[in-house]
Amino acid sequence: GDSVTQMEGPVTLSEEACLTINCTYTATGYPSLFWYVQYPGEGLQLLLKATKADDKGSNKGFEATYRKETTSFHLEKGSVQVSDSAVYFCALRASGAGSYQLTFGKGTKLSVIP
Amino acid sequence: AAGVIQSPRHLIKEKRETATLKCYPIPRHDTVYWYQQGPGQDPQFLISFYEKMQSDKGSIPDRFSAQQFSDYHSELNMSSLELGDSALYFCASSIRTSGSSYEQYFGPGTRLTVT
């Protein structure tokens, strides 16, 4: 079945450092890919998405590019802030009619220190 | 903008009791999803409804049932609660339109604690 693999955390960075959280997936066809963020004590918020190969999703300084050849969707940010501290989930929605549920990775906890 | 509403936000129950969680989707959204997130875990899909009919089923225990009502709100009913049911339960909603990525918008979750 479909699956998402994320780099294990926690990840601790200093403010203004560069961030990369790796995400690879296993799925048939062309799934849609998402990054969700979960701040402490809160629900999941959609951070960015990409629906086809070579698409780049971006939001709030975060970017991720849908790489079909490497089945990856790595999350990147050039300069993190303390307010970016949260858990980040990579997720996919399978392609094809009738497949709408999300499959999540295990999540990566990011802590940014001043 | 209106968001997904879940109630209650927190719920404490004892083993073998029942619980009902409610979800109110974003207006005009026609699909509701339920997910369970255990402590330190990723969300696991339970069940979904489209236009009041069950559309997909994941790892939902037989002790749980759910439905979507005519006003599109959904309820997750949980019976014979077990300690392992303690988790954060998310509801998400989306709208199915041609060409949409069917992105799901999540509610704040209901934290269920079974003692």
Cβ count near A15 (within 10 Å): 13
| pLDDT for res B100 | 59
Contact B38, B19 (CB under 8 A): no
Q: Is B110 on the interface with A (CB under 8 A)?
A: no
Helix (H, G, I), strand (E, B) or coil at A23: strand
CB contact under 8 A, A106 and B102: no
Nearest of A46, A23, A40, A45 to residue A82 by alpha carbon = A40
| pLDDT for res B101 | 59
pLDDT over threshold 70, residue B73: yes
* Segments in chain A below pLDDT 50: none
Compare CB distances from B56 to A101, A104, A107 and report the shortest one's residue.
A101
CB contact under 8 A, B106 and A98: no
